[in-house]
């Protein structure tokens, strides 16, 4: 493992000089380009990002309860937020993609960019260790963290809001069902339904992942609840 010397110049937007460039190359290689790709690194990086952000929020908001901390972490590590960080780090132009992804503009897709951020986190960890990785990652999240509302003011996602609305009225929880999964492997589109028993209604949503589609469907269901039922 190699740590950056205090006097060493860092010009890479990542803020880390790799002792093992092969790790960075793998982190930037999408599975469409063949092995060794970044999916295993993404798995490890996801856990590291969640740990670093949870630790930072815990220290930053000493009086916030678990719910506020959880919502803030979810806001910071959601796909669109990670993709925004990837764009700030100029990762799109550095990706290694297969022909299909190149043709479809994979270097701009939120899901690919977010996964790449997580893979690079793991690569830095394997290259330089826990402390160096945490230092680099928290620097990326500094501005997004500063932009967070005060503790307790971070908006709840649609699925949480819908569930809490139903639970407060002792009504059955929503049922989410995958209706369709379409498109090429590198550009999947998911369509999901959200069904409520009381009030009886069904809403649908689409997204680039099942989780994202469920959020859209939940938001649609909330909009369909009659005002008389609120």
- Bond from prior residue into 230 cis (ω within 30 degrees of 0): no
- Pick the catalytic residue from 42, 46, 101, 115: 46
Please state, in angstroms and rounded to a whole number, the distance separating the CA atoms of residues 101 and 213: 22
Please state, in angstroms and rounded to a whole number, the distance separating the CA atoms of residues 204 and 212: 12
Helix or strand holding residue 75 (H, E): helix 66-77
| Spatial CA neighbour of 121 closest among 56, 41, 53 | 41
- Pick the catalytic residue from 110, 115, 118, 219: 118
Helix or strand holding residue 176 (H, E): strand 175-182
The answer to whether residue 46 is catalytic is yes
Q: Both tokens of residue 143?
A: 């501005």
140 and 55 Cβ atoms separated by less than 8 Å: no
Q: Both tokens of residue 20?
A: 């093992």
Give how far the C-alpha of residue 156 lies from the chain's centroid of Cα atoms, to the nearest Å.
16
* Residue 64: HSE in the Cβ half-sphere, 13 Å Cα cutoff: 22
Please state, in angstroms and rounded to a whole number, the distance separating the CA atoms of residues 45 and 136: 13
The answer to whether residue 118 is catalytic is yes
Please state, in angstroms and rounded to a whole number, the distance separating the CA atoms of residues 80 and 211: 13
Helices 39-60, 110-128: inter-axial angle, 10-degree rounding: 80
Report, as residue numbers or ranges, the catalytic residues: 46, 118
């Amino acid at each position: 493992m190699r740590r950056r010397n205090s006097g060493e110049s860092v010009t890479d937007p990542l803020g880390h000089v790799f002792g093992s460039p092969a790790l960075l190359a793998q982190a930037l290689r999408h599975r469409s380009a063949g092995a060794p790709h970044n999916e295993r690194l993404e798995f490890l990086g996801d856990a590291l990002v969640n740990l670093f952000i949870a630790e930072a929020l815990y220290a930053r908001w000493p009086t916030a309860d678990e719910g506020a901390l959880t919502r803030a972490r979810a806001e910071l590590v959601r796909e669109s937020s990670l993709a925004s960080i990837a764009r700030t780090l100029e990762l799109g132009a550095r990706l290694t993609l297969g022909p299909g992804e190149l043709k479809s503009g994979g270097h701009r897709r939120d899901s690919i960019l977010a996964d790449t951020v997580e893979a690079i986190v793991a690569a830095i960890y394997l290259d330089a260790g826990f402390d160096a990785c945490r230092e680099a990652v928290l620097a990326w999240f500094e501005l997004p963290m500063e932009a967070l509302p005060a503790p307790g003011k971070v908006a709840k996602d649609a699925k949480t809001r819908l569930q809490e609305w139903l639970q407060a009225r002792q009504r059955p929880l929503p049922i989410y069902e995958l209706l369709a999964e379409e498109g090429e492997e590198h550009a999947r589109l998911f369509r999901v339904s959200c069904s409520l028993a009381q009030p009886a209604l069904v809403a649908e949503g689409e997204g680039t992942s099942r989780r994202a589609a469920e959020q859209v469907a939940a938001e649609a269901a909330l909009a369909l609840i009659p005002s008389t039922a609120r």
